C-alpha cells in the first residue's frame, strides 16, 4: 500500500487513540519506523490532540463584559456613581460590584470555553466514528472481492478491448449454478460524466441476442471496481458498452468496450 493511501485510510488516527489490536499496533509501528512520512503524520495527530486540550486560556472580551454588566444593571438597577471620594461605603460597594462583574464574566468565559471544548471533542468523536464505519465498509468490500476471486466454482471470462478502446479489459466471474455474476472493471477507464458502463449477457446462436444484466453505477466511488450485477443462466458471451446513465434497452455497438466468449 502506498504511503498516501495508508495515511488516508484512517488507521493512524485509530493507532493514536489506542483503538487498534496489538498486532495492528505492531504493524503501524513497523510502518512508522520504515516510512518517515507515516511517522511524521502520527506525530502531527498526537500534536493536534495535545493542542486541543491546551488551547484554551481565560479571557473575557469587552463585548462580553458589557453584556454581563447590562444584565446586572437590568436586574439590580444602575450602579450608583460615587460623588464623594470620602464616601467609603459607596466606594466599597462600587468596587464589590466591579469584582462581581469580573468574577461572573470570568465564569461566563470559562463556561463558553468548556462548551467549545465539548463541541470540539464531539466533532472529533464523530469523525473517529465515521472513520471506523468507513474502515468496516472497506473491509467488507475487500472480503467480498476475495471471496469472489477465490471461489473455484466461478467461471472466469476474460473480456478483451475492442476498437473504441483497444487497451480496455475486464473479467466476468460467473457461477453457473447460482447464476450470480460479478464484474471486475478495474481495466476500464473512468466513464465520462453522464455515462455508465452496461453489462450484456449474449446468446450467439441461432442469432446474436443481447440481454442487459445491469450497469456499473457509482464507478468512481467503488475502490475495488468489482460490481455485482443481475443473474444470468444461459450466457454464451459477455460484453460491456458505454451507455447514457441508467442504461439503454439495446447495446450501442459503436461504444463496445470489451467482449469475451464463455
Among 148, 259, 141, 133, smallest CA distance to 208 is for 259
The pLDDT value recorded for residue 85 is: 45
Strand blocks (E) in 119-218: 155-161, 169-174, 181-184, 195-203, 209-215
The pLDDT value recorded for residue 57 is: 45
The pLDDT value recorded for residue 148 is: 73
pTM of the model as a whole: 0.48
Using alpha carbons only, what angle is made at residue 244 by residues 253 and 217, rounded to the nearest 5 degrees?
A: 110
CATH code assigned to 155-261: 2.60.40
Rounded Cα distance, 170 and 159, in Å: 5
Averaged over successive runs of 10 residues, the pLDDT of the chain (262 residues) comes to 75 78 87 88 78 51 55 47 46 59 69 78 74 60 68 91 96 92 95 96 92 95 90 94 96 96 94
Rounded Cα distance, 107 and 101, in Å: 10
Q: Which residues pair with 59 in a beta bridge?
A: none
Report DSSP letters for 106-129, one per residue: HHHHHHHHHHHHHHHHHHHHHHHH
Q: How many CB atoms lie within 10 A of CB 241?
A: 26
C-beta separation of 170 from 160 below 8 A:
no
Rounded Cα distance, 156 and 150, in Å: 11
The pLDDT value recorded for residue 133 is: 61
180-211, pLDDT tens digit by residue? 999 999 999 999 999 999 999 999 988 899 99
Rounded Cα distance, 182 and 227, in Å: 6
Distance in Å from the first CA to the final CA of the chain: 34
The pLDDT value recorded for residue 99 is: 61
Amino acid at each position: 500500500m502506498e504511503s498516501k493511501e495508508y495515511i488516508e485510510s484512517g488507521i493512524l488516527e485509530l493507532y493514536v487513540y489506542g483503538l487498534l489490536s496489538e498486532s495492528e499496533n505492531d504493524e503501524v509501528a513497523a510502518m512508522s519506523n520504515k516510512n518517515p512520512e507515516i511517522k511524521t503524520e502520527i506525530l502531527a495527530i498526537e500534536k493536534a490532540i495535545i493542542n486541543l486540550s491546551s488551547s484554551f486560556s481565560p479571557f473575557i472580551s469587552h463585548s462580553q463584559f458589557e453584556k454581563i454588566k447590562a444584565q446586572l444593571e437590568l436586574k439590580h438597577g444602575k450602579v450608583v456613581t460615587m460623588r464623594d471620594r470620602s464616601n467609603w461605603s459607596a466606594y466599597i460597594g462600587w468596587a464589590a460590584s466591579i469584582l462581581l462583574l469580573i468574577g461572573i464574566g470570568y465564569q461566563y468565559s470559562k463556561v463558553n470555553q468548556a462548551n467549545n471544548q465539548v463541541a470540539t471533542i464531539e466533532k472529533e468523536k464523530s469523525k473517529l466514528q465515521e472513520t471506523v464505519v468507513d474502515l468496516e465498509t472497506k473491509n467488507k468490500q475487500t472480503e467480498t472481492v476475495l471471496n469472489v476471486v477465490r471461489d473455484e466454482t466461478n467461471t472466469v471470462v476474460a473480456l478483451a478491448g475492442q476498437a473504441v478502446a483497444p487497451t480496455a479489459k475486464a473479467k466476468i466471474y460467473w457461477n453457473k449454478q447460482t447464476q450470480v455474476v460479478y464484474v471486475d472493471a478495474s481495466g476500464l477507464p473512468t466513464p465520462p460524466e453522464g455515462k455508465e458502463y452496461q453489462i450484456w449477457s449474449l446468446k450467439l446462436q441461432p442469432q446474436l441476442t443481447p440481454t442487459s444484466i445491469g450497469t456499473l453505477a457509482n464507478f468512481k466511488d467503488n475502490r475495488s471496481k468489482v460490481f455485482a450485477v443481475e443473474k444470468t443462466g444461459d450466457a454464451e458471451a459477455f460484453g460491456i458498452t458505454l451507455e447514457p446513465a441508467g442504461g439503454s434497452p439495446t447495446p450501442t455497438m459503436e461504444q463496445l468496450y470489451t467482449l469475451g466468449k464463455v
